[in-house]
């Protein structure tokens, strides 16, 4: 019989909760409809890509909400001069 705390630890660690998903990962789930926020590629990506000068954008959210994963998606979408600091 499996100890419930051992099972919980195995499940928790199987998902690697502290590693963001790379852009294009098939495990990515688009939660835009539920979160009611704009698509990061359209919202921030266009602001940075189309700007004549450097811009500074703040992207924030609760811990574990997927900020790093979204920033990796933005980096793939962005221009060569795009720099993301986590």
Counted domains in the chain:
1
Q: For residue 31, what pLDDT is reported? A: 79
Q: For residue 79, what pLDDT is reported? A: 60
pLDDT tens digits along 26-55: 988 887 777 676 777 777 888 888 888 888
* Domain annotation covers residue 86: no
* Residue-range definition of the domain harbouring residue 49: 4-77
Q: What is the dihedral of CA 73, 77, 81, 85, to 10 degrees?
A: -10
Q: For residue 1, what pLDDT is reported? A: 60
* Domain annotation covers residue 52: yes
CB atoms within 10 A of CB 84: 13
Contact criterion met (CB below 8 Å) for 52 and 81: no
* Domain annotation covers residue 18: yes
* Domain annotation covers residue 53: yes
* Domain annotation covers residue 84: no
Residues 6+ apart with CB under 8 A from 11: none
In this prediction the pTM is 0.65
Of residues 34 and 8, the one with the higher pLDDT is 8
pLDDT tens digits along 53-73: 888 888 888 888 888 888 888
Distance between first and last Cα of the chain: 42
* Domain annotation covers residue 16: yes
* Domain annotation covers residue 85: no
């Amino acid at each position: 019989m499996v100890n419930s705390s051992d099972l919980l630890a195995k499940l928790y660690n199987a998902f690697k909760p502290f590693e963001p998903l790379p852009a294009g990962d098939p495990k990515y789930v688009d939660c835009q409809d539920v979160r009611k926020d704009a698509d990061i590629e359209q919202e921030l990506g266009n602001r940075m890509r189309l700007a004549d000068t450097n811009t500074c954008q703040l992207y924030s959210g609760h811990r574990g909400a997927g900020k790093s994963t979204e920033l990796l998606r933005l980096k793939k979408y962005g221009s060569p001069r795009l720099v993301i600091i986590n």
